[in-house]
Amino acid sequence: MSPAEAKTQIQALTAELKQHNYNYYVLAMPTIADFDFDKKLEQLNKLEKEFPEFADPDSPTQRVGGDVTKEFVTVKHRWPMLSLGNTYNAQELVEFDQRIRKAIGDSFEYVCELKFDGLSMSLTYEAGKLVRAVTRGDGTQGDEVTTNVRTIHSIPKKLDKGEFPELFEIRGEVFMHLKAFERLNKERTDNGEVAYANPRNFASGTMKLQDSAEVARRPLDCILYGLYTEKTLFKTHWESLEAVKSWGFHVDNHSALCSDINGVLEFINKWDKDRFGLSYDIDGIVIKINNYSQQQELGFTSKSPRWAISYKFKAERVETELVQVTYQVGRTGAVTPVANLKPVLLAGTTVKRATLHNADEITERLKLHEHDTVFVEKGGEIIPKIISVNLDKRKPDAKAIAYITHCPACNTALLRTEGEAAWYCPNDEGCPPQIVGKMQHFTGRKAMDIDGLGDETIETLFKQGFIKRISDLYNLHEHSVELKKLGRFGEKSINNMLEGIEKSKQMPFEKVLFGLGIRYIGETVAKKLAFHFKTIDKLMAASLEELVAAEEIGERIAQSIIEYFGNETHQQEIEKLKVQGLQFVVVENEVKLASEKLTGQSFIISGVFEKFSRDELKDIIEQNGGKILSSISAKLSYVVAGDNMGPAKLEKAQKLNIPIISDQELIDKVS
């Protein structure tokens, strides 16, 4: 066979087998027998070995898997994978639109995209080759699942067209088509295996399989919707979608560009009806500001972008019986009621429990009685919630459910702070769920990230009397012999645990502070406090006024800090942790300043600039001793304004008489 003939045959077989794969996996309508398919695949494989120069990088022969992953490596995201804010009604979308207009004016567009109910995935390409695939994880870091992702037919392993950058990330959603899900679930039940509840769980479970050959046998698809690069290549999100589509990526063809909120609402109404005709599940619509400069102007909260929002379709509602109300005690002492329900199928999942949030939910809003018939919705929540009670089915002699007065774990009388909905158990040093919860929080990924100390291990160590408080973790090495005698831990797991504990001593101050579990102190607040006060001693000694003076610290947070450090037991605990060598001082990297001309001055950058990017202006300010603030206040020295500065920022700056300067005036200040 001549090279030209081989090339023609390889291309024809590749195209034919890709179509057969689509018919089988996506449409669940095979048009060829398995035996015939395998013979054609064998023929293609033979030709590719004889003429490797003509093989398609995405050839069906390359999608069979076979590698076994012993464990998934945790990888930090170059760009955080933030979640989106949610809304469930049109009025909240109109309010979102009004906030956008107030911030950036009236000249902008929206991009509307279907919200796939799947598993978020980030793909990294270098020189056009897929080099890494990472799950969303906690948004900061996730599991590397590259071997498994390589088996997905719609994800290119190598790009062969388009002007793509040397290095970029592209993000999307891995999911399973409904007919493929039904077919595979039937196979599982026929084989006596447990069926998956829904396609999303099936897709997520498949991505965590260690044998990529098994992954390849489970048909997954992937829609890509977000490009990330070091240097912005396009002016708008729509342009980037068109570009990545031309590079060979599978992009949602149903996306739409809308000039105003009315267009967005029309798009939502259309897909609220048409979604049932799709071959896959969607649970809503994602709405994004199209222009990248305007996205940058709007910025982010600590959890989500201000320039995007997710509209969730109305949830399915079912009726079932309330069996009883039980109570859970969290690490902060908050006592949360939980409704235990007669099992019922809801949105593809069997529901047995629903959240009740707080006492008012039971006694005021729902006015629950024993064995009430209730309406339950999932509404985007992981745990379903009770929406209302079917009063027509309430028994005449049913007793009203009263919220408990004492802690279900330690029997301490519950307290409720004025203005708050939750009841708390104040026995934070003697209530087992609080003690265990605090240690689980401390060792968790977002705090001290201690390998080998999962939630179950913490519970076991507490029940066996090895740990009563956080500082006890750092004395576990003294009990290694006793731990081995338990039979619960092998020598390797004990060594891993002790190594993880020792390694955690190097975690920075802000992680330790967050890990202490002080009420209202989340990750972001812990970081701001650490970098403002620099040491734990200064933070502990700070007055209410000094705390409130720190960026984004309100009176409620300040009061909580004072109460926490005013407790003698907490003071003793911190001293023990200091002795163990934990970090209670901020280690700041030394920055070599170009000058100190902006020392003591603070800035906000707003708008679009012709000569510089906003990041370049930020670097100029910081390299000359200046500080970037997150919001306009009386403390601000200057606003560096470009074109299309947000009207709300402009109005506030003018009201506070804050000088507004151009990028050139900033350059003049440091020249």
Q: Give the distance between the most distant pair of CA atoms in the chain.
A: 89
Mean predicted lDDT score pLDDT of the chain: 88
Per-residue model confidence (pLDDT) at position 465: 92
Per-residue model confidence (pLDDT) at position 183: 85
Percent of the chain with pLDDT over 70: 93
- Quote the pTM value: 0.57
Does residue 147 contact residue 67 with C-beta atoms inside 8 Å? yes
Question: 326-357: b or e for each residue (b if 16 or more CB lie within 10 Å)?
Answer: ebebbbbbbbbbbbebeeeebbbeebeebbbe
Per-residue model confidence (pLDDT) at position 26: 46
For the stretch 574-615, pLDDT in tens is: 999 999 999 999 986 655 678 889 999 999 998 878 788 777
CA atoms of 240 and 226, how far apart (whole Å): 8
Kind plus residue range of the DSSP H or E element containing 91? helix 90-104
Parts of the chain belonging to CATH 3.40.50.10190: 602-670
Choose which CATH entry (3.30.160.100, 1.10.10.10, 3.10.580.10, 1.10.287.610) describes domain 3-62.
Answer: 1.10.287.610
Which of 273, 196, 213, 221 has the alpha carbon at shortest distance from 62? 213
The DSSP string of 503-529 is HGGGS-HHHHHHHTT-TT--HHHHHHH
Is position 115 annotated as part of the catalytic site?
yes
Parts of the chain belonging to CATH 2.40.50.140: 315-427
Strands (E), 61-190: 74-76, 86-87, 110-116, 119-126, 129-135, 141-143, 167-175
Choose which CATH entry (3.40.50.10190, 3.40.50.300, 3.30.460.10, 3.60.15.10) describes domain 602-670.
Answer: 3.40.50.10190
Spelled out in words, what is the top-level CATH class assigned to the domain 315-427? mainly beta
The CATH code that applies to domain 75-312 is: 3.30.470.30
CA atoms of 369 and 372, how far apart (whole Å): 6
Q: Which among 7, 18, 70, 115 is annotated as catalytic?
A: 115
Q: Which residues of the chain have pLDDT under 50?
A: 25-26, 28, 64-68, 380-381
Helix pair angle (568-579, 555-565), 10° resolution: 80
Choose which CATH entry (3.10.580.10, 1.10.10.60, 3.40.50.10680, 1.10.150.20) describes domain 432-579.
Answer: 1.10.150.20
Q: How far, in Å, are 110, 436, 477 from residue 468 at the CA level?
A: 53, 8, 15
CA atoms of 284 and 309, how far apart (whole Å): 11
> Which residue has 């005690």 as its token pair?
329
Per-residue model confidence (pLDDT) at position 65: 45
